[in-house]
Amino acid sequence: MKVTVLTGGVGGARFLRGVVDVLHPGDVTAVVNVGDDVEVLGLAVSPDVDSVVYALAGLADEERGWGRADETWNALDSAAAFGGESWFRLGDRDVGLHLVRTQALRAGEPLSAVTARLAAAAGIETAVLPATDDRLRTWIETPSGTFSFQEWFVARGHRDPVKRVRFEGSADARPAPGVLDALLEADAILIAPSNPFVSIGPILAVERIRRALERRRVTAIAVSPLIGGRAVKGPAADMLRRLQGGTTPAHVGESYSGLIDALVFDEADAAGTDAVSALGVRPIVTHTLMRDGASRRRLAEAALDAVAVA
């Protein structure tokens, strides 16, 4: 079975790892958010692409959720000592990847091409595709002003309430090479348990990707990032409350209106089952917390089982 997974953020990368462990890695394609890409100390950083690369290569720091395991911070400390910015923490091992990417982008190589090279160098068989090679950036409008995604998320600790999310460049952004084919040729499309607004939203803001999903001929299944109406990590619950009116599975389902056939959500949210059915979306209730390899695989299996019976 060939599966295409839309993913962003820490939960997305963990889930993708589960999918790859259950299926043949070469049968999986990841379409990854680039809205929170950022330039730090002159380096081009693609946090969500990197979370996927590190997760699939077994290099991720499981506890921190981002960056590499066994990390040290000497380069960043040195940069800070010389007056450089240090609010966005780039580890010594992590920096190596950003150096290669930055050089390639400056030489005119598209993000998708350099990502393919990085993934291959890390021994990854799964296709890792940035949603677009064009510049697409997430901006967060809050009562205190409008901030780039990382400024809001990291520098300000995502404390400012979100009034609106905007995707700079989305009107002109084209799907990266391979993305539309991956959606058209898949036997199933999965949306990872990522934040619907800032992790999956930028992917769907690419018009031709959204249209491909709307016109899908195969089952599309989203996994809710919430457990008991709360985010495992990050601002997803608060954003759903403010932008979608609530944190039940139906609110998650509504954020993918017209784009999914089934929604996987946690047993703690089972009371919301009928409301999901009322949306015309098949509810799938299971344990969704990904604590370790076994629970990641179980969640991937639950989502893939839904493909078989849909």
Residues that bind ligand FO1 (CB under 6 A): 8-10, 36, 45, 47-48, 50, 66-67, 88-90, 94, 150, 153-154, 199
Q: 69 or 154: whose CB is closer to ligand FO1?
A: 154
In angstroms, give the least distance from the CB of 19 to ligand FO1: 18
In angstroms, give the least distance from the CB of 2 to ligand FO1: 26
Beta bridge partners of 265: 285
Q: Please, are residues 251 and 231 in contact by the beta-carbon 8 Å criterion?
A: no
Strands 188-191 and 219-223: parallel
Q: 231 or 284: whose CB is closer to ligand FO1?
A: 231
In angstroms, give the least distance from the CB of 9 to ligand FO1: 4
Separation of alpha carbons 101 and 145, rounded Å: 31
Q: What are phi and psi of 23, to 5 degrees?
A: -100, 180
In angstroms, give the least distance from the CB of 217 to ligand FO1: 30
* Residue spans of beta strands (DSSP E) within the chain: 3-7, 28-32, 38-40, 43-45, 127-130, 137-142, 145-148, 164-168, 188-191, 219-223, 226-227, 230-231, 262-266, 282-286
Q: 98 or 296: whose CB is closer to ligand FO1?
A: 98
Q: What residue type is assigned to position 171 of the chain?
A: A
Separation of alpha carbons 175 and 134, rounded Å: 8
Q: 8 or 229: whose CB is closer to ligand FO1?
A: 8
In angstroms, give the least distance from the CB of 279 to ligand FO1: 26
Separation of alpha carbons 140 and 149, rounded Å: 6
In angstroms, give the least distance from the CB of 273 to ligand FO1: 29
Q: 2 or 93: whose CB is closer to ligand FO1?
A: 93
Q: 153 or 261: whose CB is closer to ligand FO1?
A: 153
Q: 129 or 262: whose CB is closer to ligand FO1?
A: 129
In angstroms, give the least distance from the CB of 270 to ligand FO1: 28
Q: What residue type is assigned to position 291 of the chain?
A: R
- Identify which of 301, 119, 111, 134 has the alpha carbon closest to the alpha carbon of residue 209: 134
